[in-house]
Structure 1
Amino acid sequence: MSTALPPRALPPRALRELGRTEGDAEALELLVRDQDTRRLVLLRALLDAAAAASVTVCPPDLLDRLHEDWALLAAAERTDRAAARSVLLYPLVGPWAERCLNALTAGPPLPELRTDLGHLGALAAAAAIRAGLPFATRLTARGAVLHLPLLGAAHLGPGSVDLLADGEEVRLSQGRSAEVFVRVDSGVASSLDPRWLPVPALPALLPGGSPVPLDDLDPYRAAGGGLERHGLSGTTRLDDDGRKTWAASWSGVEHLLRIGGEHRSAEAAALLRCLVPLAPPPGTASSGEGAAHCSGTRREAFGAILSSRPTDAVHFASTLVHELQHTKLAALSALLPLHHEDAAPRHFAPWRPDPRPFDGLLQGAYSHIALADYWQRFALGAERATFSQRDLAWSEHARRREQVGAVLPVLAGSGALTPEGRVIVNEMITLYHRLADWPPPMGHVARARAYVATARVIWQQRNHSQRA
């Protein structure tokens, strides 16, 4: 079953705002609602694919269990729809669902398909727990760990685990081992038992918002993501010091986002649903100190940002600005196709050593023009910024703007842009020229131009091409 949805109209004003890397609450809500609908369709498609699969792929006992888990999900949603959907729409459910659907429909089944499909039981249990629904079920630990998405994980023995929930407390039992008791309050699971590890969370970005999970537990947080292929380090677990460092940087992020405009903190509050910690990039000190940093998003994990630990709140805020533009443009592209270019990697991008496909070029330019805007606003509006911080901001602004200027002619010259894509590119060009109204101090532009020129020469030499 296809998960494609019919395109939905976006008001012209909202489309122009998004082209300028902004977007009001109505536009962001439309993107979120469309992505949420796609997730629910994907989950239904997964169940339908299991029912249509041969018995060698999905045996009757496994299909029966999937239907039982689905029934528990439905009961949880009837009890508390918002609580149940907080689990179903959790970003890291997307990579799991895509993985299972691909395994069910594309060739021989993977050996781990039974384990993967069994994760639906954990999702159903987590949704029912957050909804406050009394129930009993039996789950299977992955290795020696039982994962309950968005809640936490219990370190038990391998094999089956009996779960009994009464709406306020969850009891996990396995054979003769001592039971693990977990209290649930407002969707947060905690226990005095050291075998239970809750999902860490950062405080809500804005008053009245939801805490942001800092998820270092979910077994599918990197599944199928090809992290190394995209220049990202692997996932990591956080110790107490690591969590405190993330929290310390996070505490200053909202203020710094607002320096870049109210729309920056608003889009972060609307779009960010979880953070996935990554290990420091290769060559970085084990403490994570130093300039090296990596971050990324995944189209199938809407609302998640994967990131190594930011060095401070300033870099944390810029990481959010950067990655949330990818989130925003990917969601917009799913709602309204922006171009019909092919996927051949042929274009020069000053921020990458390899040739980029047109879509990757558009995505990169969009996030970089947002960064150029953010860093300029920071340089002009950060009243308490030190000289070195303001100098860094101007340097980043000049480099990002120059990088975007190098690729805008390619984007604007494409004959395969849709009318909506043409609006987006034209608004990016307008923003690019508007940024010139407040030039950086002398020297920054010259260094930025030299950087891009050098990047072009290196790219041409590396890729044996004069086409840029």
Structure 2
Amino acid sequence: MIPTEHRLPRAVLDELAAGRGGAEGVALLRAAQHSKSILLVRAIVLLLRQRGHPDRAAVEAAYRLLAGLRPEVRAAALAHPPAAAWAFGTAALLGGADPTRTYPGLLAAVAATAAVRAGVTADLEVPLAEGAAGRLDLPGLGTAELPAATTRARIRVDRGQAWAHGAGERVAIGVGSTDPRWQPVPRLVLAHHGLRLSLLLDTRSWRHVPGIGTGHRIGGELTPAWRSRLEEAWRLLVEHHRPVAEEIAGAIRALVPVGAPRYGSRSGTFHHAFGSVAMSLPPDGRSAAVVLAHEIQHAKLAALTDMFALLEPGPPELFYAPWRTDPRPLDGLLHGAYAHLGVAGFWRRQVRATATGAARYRAEVEFARWSRAAEDTVRVLAAQRRLTPVGRHLVEGMAAVLAGWVREPVSALAAEQAGRLLAEHRARWDRSRTPTG
């Protein structure tokens, strides 16, 4: 497996700086992320060889199998978001002082997934995760329940049929398996006006990602409420936000359900898991659409920062962010501004798509609020000396877009309410940082 050299055309960078990028930009970012995963997997193999790890032989066999597969099959397996995040975390831990908290054998499970999907003849040993004897997780494919004594499974693929073997038992796996011991990963397919979004709900594979599987409340089923709200969100995005929907369709591959906070909702992306969106159950379809429009911005910017440094190293500094209750470091402020450029753009399009009434008023308030908040924040970013040339180009691109948006008219009542919300947020933030007593 050889990573590719990647270049980002200036025209695409200009589009990304304006908060867009389109299907072309997303495809270029995704290709670069695949090369990143190849480099990480190669590092894992070399580190296991250096350390004489007991799973070295299984991992090296998996690497050879992946190298011999068609590039698109290999890319699909390695680009599965929890697999990509696992590769980053595992390489980092193996290269550090404490490699014991890793599960390098997951690469064998990733290779097994690829072999099953491709239908190629294969015979792979897959070490199971510590503490998970009898449970074989194949990222993006499913989970096989084997006898509890199983600590190392075998995956055999022959003539398009696949089985998992352990402790003398065999479980049929893959598409078409009716064995009750096989649980396929649920998939939600959304389609509207010719645009398709396919989301895997692979909650089990995230357990193996260092720092994520233990640090987040990941879990939940694909309930009718999830389906209906995401279907409504997809219709809204395709009909009124088509360019954003095309970016989402080209980038997002996995939905990560997380528990809701006590108040409101929660969403986010994982930097090294390109193509995933974490969110709690949204209250309605429009809220889900806003989350997707917000998180695709984070995904694009995270992938861009893997290609280019946007900030020079510097002393820790914290800044006010109009969308947070806590102060943010400079990189977090940049991410937040880019994401809220996307949020403001969503509500701007909603204003145009909504004729009258309370829905239009809400869209005007949200557009005025977030375009002003993002512009104020971009002005702070523009004053920072730590911006690299690419970082400054990004900030200048955002500034140019927002300068036009804040001049666009909204109703007087909406403008007044937006200003009130911004002022109230800043006042609460200032009060929370005023010493008492």
TM-score calculated relative to the size of structure 2? 0.89
Give the secondary-structure state (helix, strand or coil) at the position aligned to 1:130.
Answer: helix
Shift of 1:205: 4.9
Letter in 2 for 1:247: R
Distance in 1 separating the partners of 2:423 and 2:408: 23
Residue 434 to residue 227, structure 1, CA distance change in 2 (3 Å):
farther
Residue 453 to residue 437, structure 1, CA distance change in 2 (3 Å):
closer
Cα RMSD, aligned residues only: 2.7
> Contact conserved, 1:341 with 1:358, CA < 8 A, in 2?
no
Shift of 1:407: 1.5
Give the secondary-structure state (helix, strand or coil) at the position aligned to 1:348.
Answer: coil
Shift of 1:356: 1.0
Which residue pairs with 1:192 in the alignment? 178
Letter in 1 for 2:180: P
Moved over 4 A (4+): 3-6, 204-210
Distance in 2 separating the partners of 1:440 and 1:227: 45
Tell me if 1:426 matches 2:412.
Answer: no
Tell me if 1:125 matches 2:102.
Answer: no
Which residue pairs with 1:336 in the alignment? 308
Which residue pairs with 2:250 in the alignment? 270
Letter in 2 for 1:319: V
Shift of 1:227: 8.5
Given the alignment, which residue of 160, 163, 182 partners 1:168? 160
> Contact conserved, 1:126 with 1:149, CA < 8 A, in 2?
yes
Which residue pairs with 1:286 in the alignment? none
Distance in 2 separating the partners of 1:388 and 1:344: 43
Tell me if 1:181 matches 2:169.
Answer: no
Shift of 1:413: 1.2
Given the alignment, which residue of 18, 21, 37 partners 2:19? 21
Shift of 1:222: 5.8
Given the alignment, which residue of 368, 389, 398 partners 2:359? 389
Distance in 2 separating the partners of 1:226 and 1:64: 26
Which residue pairs with 2:123 in the alignment? 136
The answer to which of 335-344 and 425-434 deviates more is 335-344
Distance in 2 separating the partners of 1:169 and 1:209: 28
Distance in 2 separating the partners of 1:219 and 1:25: 27
Alignment of 1:201-240 (within 5 A): 201-203=187-189, 205=191, 207=194, 211-220=198-207, 223-225=210-212, 234-238=217-221
1:166-219 CA deviation, whole Å, 9 max, x = no partner? 242222343355x4223x4xxxx3432332211111215574857221222214
Tell me if 1:373 matches 2:366.
Answer: no
Residue 431 to residue 82, structure 1, CA distance change in 2 (3 Å):
same
Tell me if 1:413 matches 2:383.
Answer: yes
Residue 20 to residue 346, structure 1, CA distance change in 2 (3 Å):
same
Shift of 1:122: 0.9
Distance in 2 separating the partners of 1:41 and 1:152: 26
Which residue pairs with 1:62 in the alignment? 55
Letter in 2 for 1:194: P
1:382-410 CA deviation, whole Å, 9 max, x = no partner? 46xx8443333223222212321332221
The answer to which of 262-271 and 140-149 deviates more is 140-149
Give the secondary-structure state (helix, strand or coil) at the position aligned to 2:255.
Answer: strand
Distance in 1 separating the partners of 2:76 and 2:3: 22
Shift of 1:39: 1.2
Letter in 1 for 2:26: L
1:72-94 CA deviation, whole Å, 9 max, x = no partner? 2223x1xx331232111111112
Shift of 1:9: 4.6
Unpaired runs of 5+ in structure 2?
none
TM-score calculated relative to the size of structure 1? 0.83
Shift of 1:444: 2.5
Distance in 1 separating the partners of 2:154 and 2:390: 52
Residue 199 to residue 392, structure 1, CA distance change in 2 (3 Å):
farther
- Identical columns (%): 29
Tell me if 1:293 matches 2:265.
Answer: yes
Distance in 2 separating the partners of 1:221 and 1:302: 16
Which residue pairs with 1:288 in the alignment? none
Letter in 2 for 1:398: A
Which residue pairs with 1:72 in the alignment? 65
Distance in 1 separating the partners of 2:106 and 2:47: 16
Which residue pairs with 1:320 in the alignment? 292
Which residue pairs with 1:49 in the alignment? 47
Given the alignment, which residue of 81, 84, 99 partners 1:91? 81
Residue 16 to residue 140, structure 1, CA distance change in 2 (3 Å):
closer
Distance in 1 separating the partners of 2:282 and 2:161: 36
Give the secondary-structure state (helix, strand or coil) at the position aligned to 1:73.
Answer: helix
Distance in 2 separating the partners of 1:157 and 1:22: 50
Between Structure 1 and Structure 2, how many residues are aligned? 428
